[in-house]
Chain A
Amino acid sequence: MKTFLILGAGTAGTLMARSMVKTLDPQEWKVVVVDRDRAHYYQPGFLFIPFGIYKPSDVIKPKTNYLPRQVEMIWSDIELVEPAENRVTLTEGKRVIHYDELVIATGVDIRPDQTEGLDGAGWRQNIFDFYTYEGSVKLAEALKRFDGGRVVINISEMPVKCPVAPLEFVFLADDYFRRRGIRNKVDLIYSTPLPDAFTKPRANATLGPMFEKRGIQLEADFAIGDVDASANAIHSYDGREIGYDLLVSIPTNMGAEYIERSGIGDDLNYIPVDKFTMQSKQWPNVWAVGDTTNLPASKAGSVAHFQHEIAVHNILAHIKGQPVDDKFDGHSLCYIESGAGKAILIDFNYDLEPVPGTYPVPGIGPFQLLKETTFNHWGKLIFRPMYWAMMSGINVPLPSKMSTAGKKI
């Protein structure tokens, strides 16, 4: 009996487990999945929790609801991965699993400890994240109490999961304070290590004015050096200071610690894989899918979905001794909430930047690319039930490769 081992049962791991159960011969293969957390989170929903738009039950379900019954599920942290020995050691009972094929899909986590002072006295007092369930719930309480002052959004370091989420947060915050009638008492400051809020020329030309229109201040090229929680200020390495009453931080995003322990990741504990095939650059029977890869694509659920289709094809080819030749094009599809019940849709890949046009039907839509519309907002909201349906095994016909039809390239 051969072992197909999947580390992580989030978006990518769950999709992978289902595909493998469906395609591998159960007489020959056993599919084993390891995860330390029994809750499956709809992570894009964390964005809406601070503003009271989503409630906890919208974003948390038991992982077992979505894993096919045929998999062997093990609840444990991971101690060590030794690809040269085709072996993984679990934390629980120091159990050792020998694998024939290994898929790493343990995602990334926020690491406030990577920025000096960020996880100190102010953490979850007047410094919050919205990239974890706990953080977004605590931030919701803090926002409710907030009746004026400086709200600073800060991205510690790129890349981060769902790179548009910080933008969405600041647009939704603008809308939230307007609805509460206190927008004139709130300063919104967006600080980013990137040279602009939108760094791609076409997106910047179209979306750049959104900040000015909403009265959001931009502090670009801001690489955070430290947080001084006693003075409520953040400092950049080049000596700039931004004072805050409420700091909404997007801390450094890193892969799991077992990756560092095992010496199989890069500087951020991401797994280096071929950017087209998802195969490890070092070990041909090791693959990575979803946020945990080092691919220069967005770390997002839609991307994990697209990657997984390509990876499944390539892994099956590898098992059969055929060439690993299906290619991921870096396709990402994201709805960006812009506040007041509107959203922007963007569609791009490794080579093409987000451009205007219609999606998914060329010339018709109904979604408008790179434009703020109400219909796009509905698309964003529909994504949540669609996500849970997809996790349950219902096939969602989203083409994994990007189409250029209907787009103004």
Chain B
Amino acid sequence: MSDVLAAVKFDAEGFMVDPNAWTKEIAEAIAAREGMVLTERHWVVINFARDYFKKNGESPTPRNITKNSDVTTKELYELFPGGPAKLAAKVSGLGKPHGCI
């Protein structure tokens, strides 16, 4: 696991600096570091987040995810406890969602 992440650059809060350097192996390793095991349902969210980022250049919001996949908001919070936008972005190799200030 540590081998996979050794060459990956993270910011101070553990978000990947370069979303293009992301791979599925890295996602598994980040998830393990966060104490999670990725299931098929996690991958629905991660794949959606990667596609969304490719199209829009930013991380999706919880609404984007639930409106465009079969994942409900409740499930989304069960999959990524404590903050799906943040945790899903982290595992998907995307930047931290920000407010304006």
Residues of A within 8 A of B (CB): 157-158, 163-164, 167, 193-195, 198-200, 203, 207, 221, 223, 225, 237-238, 267-268, 296, 298, 332, 334, 336, 346, 348, 353-354
Contact status B67-A195, CB under 8 Å: no
Contact status B83-A268, CB under 8 Å: no
List 12 other contacts, CB 8 Å, given A195-B83, A200-B99, A267-B61: A157-B61, A158-B61, A194-B97, A198-B101, A203-B101, A223-B83, A223-B84, A225-B74, A237-B74, A238-B81, A267-B67, A334-B100
Contact status B100-A221, CB under 8 Å: no
A sample of 25 inter-chain contacts (CB < 8 A) reads: A157-B61, A157-B62, A167-B101, A194-B97, A198-B99, A199-B96, A200-B99, A203-B101, A207-B101, A221-B83, A221-B86, A223-B62, A225-B74, A237-B74, A238-B81, A238-B82, A267-B61, A267-B67, A268-B63, A296-B58, A298-B100, A334-B100, A346-B101, A353-B101, A354-B101
Chain B positions 41 through 66: 1 when the CB is less than 8 Å from some CB of chain A, otherwise 0: 00000000000000000100111100
Count B interface residues, CB 8 Å.
Answer: 23
Partner of A199 from B62, B81, B101 at Cβ < 8 Å: B101
Contact status B73-A194, CB under 8 Å: no
- Chain B residue nearest in CB terms to A238: B77
Contact status A157-B63, CB under 8 Å: yes
> Assuming the A-B contacts A221-B82, A296-B58, are A163 and B99 also in contact, with contact meaning beta carbons closer than 8 angstroms in the complex?
yes
Contact status B101-A200, CB under 8 Å: yes
Contact status A348-B63, CB under 8 Å: no
Residues of B within 8 A of A (CB): 58, 61-64, 67-68, 73-74, 76-77, 81-86, 96-101
Contact status B101-A267, CB under 8 Å: no
Contact status A267-B73, CB under 8 Å: no
A158 to B64, CA, bound (A): 11
- Chain A residue nearest in CB terms to B81: A238
Partner of A225 from B68, B73, B86, B98 at Cβ < 8 Å: B73
- For A221, what are the chain B residues with a Cβ–Cβ distance below 8 Å? 82-83, 86
A334 to B99, CA, bound (A): 14
A192 to B68, CA, bound (A): 24
How far does the Cβ of B94 sit from chain A's closest Cβ, in whole Å? Answer: 14
A163 to B84, CA, bound (A): 21
Partner of B63 from A164, A194, A225, A267 at Cβ < 8 Å: A267
A195 to B63, CA, bound (A): 17
Contact status B61-A348, CB under 8 Å: no
How far does the Cβ of B51 sit from chain A's closest Cβ, in whole Å? Answer: 14
Contact status A199-B68, CB under 8 Å: no
A238 to B67, CA, bound (A): 19
Contact status A195-B86, CB under 8 Å: yes
How far does the Cβ of B78 sit from chain A's closest Cβ, in whole Å? Answer: 9
How far does the Cβ of B48 sit from chain A's closest Cβ, in whole Å? Answer: 12
- For A200, what are the chain B residues with a Cβ–Cβ distance below 8 Å? 98-101
- For A193, what are the chain B residues with a Cβ–Cβ distance below 8 Å? 85
A221 to B97, CA, bound (A): 11
A225 to B64, CA, bound (A): 16
- For A296, what are the chain B residues with a Cβ–Cβ distance below 8 Å? 58
Of A193, A203, A268, the most chain B CB neighbours within 10 A belong to A193
Contact status A237-B73, CB under 8 Å: yes
How far does the Cβ of A255 sit from chain B's closest Cβ, in whole Å? Answer: 13
- For B76, what are the chain A residues with a Cβ–Cβ distance below 8 Å? 237
> Assuming the A-B contacts A195-B86, A354-B101, are A223 and B58 also in contact, with contact meaning beta carbons closer than 8 angstroms in the complex?
no
Partner of A195 from B62, B96, B100 at Cβ < 8 Å: B96
Contact status B101-A194, CB under 8 Å: no
Contact status A199-B77, CB under 8 Å: no
> Assuming the A-B contacts A195-B96, A296-B58, are A223 and B101 also in contact, with contact meaning beta carbons closer than 8 angstroms in the complex?
no
Contact status A199-B86, CB under 8 Å: no
Contact status B77-A194, CB under 8 Å: no
A207 to B100, CA, bound (A): 13
Contact status B74-A164, CB under 8 Å: no
Contact status B83-A348, CB under 8 Å: no
A237 to B99, CA, bound (A): 20
- For A223, what are the chain B residues with a Cβ–Cβ distance below 8 Å? 62, 73, 77, 83-84
